[in-house]
Amino acid sequence: MIVGFTLNGRPREIDVPPSQTLLRTLRDTLGVFDAKEGCSEGVCGACTVLLDGRPVSSCLVLTPTARGRRVLTVRGLERAGDLHPLQTAFVEHGAVQCGFCTPGMVLTALAFLEQRPRPDREEIRAALAGNLCRCTGYAKILDAVEAYVSGRRADG
């Protein structure tokens, strides 16, 4: 079936089996490897993308569900060649080790901060509990998100 959606602002139209997941469509049909496959059962969060701004596990979303909607991966955050300030915070605070969870983690955090721009550390912790990381122990990820939040606050 033909499905059209925008991927990182660009319209895409593809022919996919109706039962194909968005994760498979991105990785196998479109060759876009930004979302990672960690468990394919909606537990680890590595495949998180934003669908109309809301985080979803793309391994659980069938591609036809995305018809006419906006799909954002971590590559869509870049502006004029610069990293998004939250990405910069991840890099500078050592929140990235193996990096396999990072794209999903960044997107989940961003979507959460849209809903709740001034969270405290415990709220951030709860918001990221659906994205597993096996390397960092989470502390530096929370540091990065907190630093981004307070940097934004400082900017007004």
Amino acid at the residue 90: F
- Between residues 58 and 156, which has the closer beta carbon with respect to other proteins? 58
* Closer by beta carbon to other proteins, 66 or else 124: 124
To the nearest whole angstrom, how small is the minimum distance from the Cβ of residue 117 to other proteins? 19
Rounded to 10 degrees, what is the CA torsion of 11, 20, 71, 92?
-130
Q: Nearest CA to 32 among 85, 79, 83, 74? A: 74
The residues binding other proteins (CB under 8 A) are 27-28, 31, 33-34, 36-41, 43-44, 46, 73-75, 77-78, 83, 87, 90-94, 96-103, 106, 125-126, 128-142
CB of residue 27 vs other proteins: minimum separation in angstroms? 8
The Cα 93–Cα 113 span in angstroms is 18
